[in-house]
């Protein structure tokens, strides 16, 4: 039986849709999870301090492949092993992060999929939020390390061009306190940067966005399905499903350093019209016509 080690930061309940997609991708390639391949998933339940130890525990089991999601996962796993192949599913700006020499030929023990090409996806999302809600003038940016610095300069520059003020808030683990700070600043919009810990709390986050009447933009459509206003980003479940292709090739003897890193073939714009109505926001037709999916039921 092949073994895949997956040390996750997010709570397990938030990972279920992605694990299901991965398992389906493996089935499509002839593997039966639990019979031909075992996926050993362990979660730090959002605790970054505990995460490095968790990674080392999984590495010590010597799986055939280590699976990672966002850069925070990949960086820790990369530090723990230079020999076990690593398949990432949600890499971001992977060349600058030091995961590969080139996208076509990574050269090390890391390969897989990326969610963006760098800061331009994030700046485009901020532009779309402003176009969707032209009245926005004060936007809070809620972030987790390391993305706070990865995209800060590009977003500050874009916000200046859009004549919007920004307040940078680092997720503290206490959402009520974080949103109280945002409310004191009198924000009328919120921009959520990619995050691992907050993903599992998306129902709470979208409820707080609604409570404070904040027009919000997210990286993942799962937030919009939970009641958020709009998302612009890669389909995360599809990335996990596609990761099965890399896993299959490595099982069959391919070296990760010779497998090209796949960039997103499309970035989806998803809008929740129910949330727009509740906020009293009329989304312009220029945005609606470009949306890949509208949620209205």
- Tens place of pLDDT per residue across the chain (297 aa): 999 999 998 888 888 889 999 999 999 999 999 999 999 999 998 888 899 999 999 999 999 999 999 888 999 999 999 999 999 999 988 888 899 999 999 999 999 999 876 788 899 999 999 999 999 999 999 988 766 677 889 999 999 999 999 999 999 989 999 999 999 999 999 999 877 778 888 999 999 999 999 999 999 999 999 999 999 999 999 999 999 999 999 999 999 999 999 988 789 999 999 999 999 999 999 999 999 999 986
- Note the CATH number of domain 119-233+268-295: 3.40.50.2300
- Is the entire prediction scored with pTM above 0.75? yes
- Note the CATH number of domain 2-116+236-258: 3.40.50.2300
Nearby residues of 103 by Cβ (< 8 Å), 6 or more positions away = 94, 95, 260, 261, 263
CA distances from 205 to 12, 136, 143 (A): 18, 19, 13
Residue 168 CA, chain-centre distance (Å), reads 19
Domain with CATH 3.40.50.2300 in the chain: 2-116+236-258, 119-233+268-295
């Amino acid at each position: 039986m092949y073994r895949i080690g997956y040390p996750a930061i997010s709570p397990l309940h938030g990972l279920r849709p992605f694990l299901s997609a991965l398992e389906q991708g493996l089935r499509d390639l002839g593997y039966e999870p639990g019979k031909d391949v075992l996926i050993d998933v362990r979660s730090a339940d959002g605790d970054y301090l505990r995460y490095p130890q968790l990674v080392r525990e999984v590495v010590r089991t010597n799986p055939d492949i280590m699976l990672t999601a966002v850069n925070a996962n990949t960086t820790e796993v990369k530090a723990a092993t230079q020999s076990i192949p690593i398949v990432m599913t949600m890499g971001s700006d992977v060349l600058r992060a030091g995961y590969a020499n080139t996208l076509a030929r990574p050269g090390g023990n890391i390969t897989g999929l990326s969610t963006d090409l760098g800061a331009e996806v994030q700046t485009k999302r901020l532009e779309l939020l402003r176009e969707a809600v032209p009245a926005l003038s004060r936007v809070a940016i809620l972030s987790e390390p390391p993305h706070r610095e990865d995209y800060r300069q590009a977003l500050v520059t874009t916000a200046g061009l859009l004549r919007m003020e920004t307040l940078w808030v680092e997720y503290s683990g206490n959402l009520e306190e974080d949103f109280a700070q945002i409310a004191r600043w009198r924000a009328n919009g919120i921009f959520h940067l990619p995050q691992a810990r907050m993903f599992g709390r998306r129902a709470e986050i979208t409820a707080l966005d609604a409570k404070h009447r904040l027009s919000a933009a997210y990286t993942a459509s799962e937030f919009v399905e939970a009641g958020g206003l709009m998302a612009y980003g890669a389909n995360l479940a599809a990335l996990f499903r596609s990761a099965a292709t890399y896993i299959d090739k490595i099982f069959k003897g391919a070296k990760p350093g010779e497998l090209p890193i796949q960039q997103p073939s499309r970035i989806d714009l998803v809008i929740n019209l129910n949330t727009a109505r509740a906020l009293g926001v009329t989304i312009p037709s220029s945005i609606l016509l470009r949306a890949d999916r509208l949620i209205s039921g």
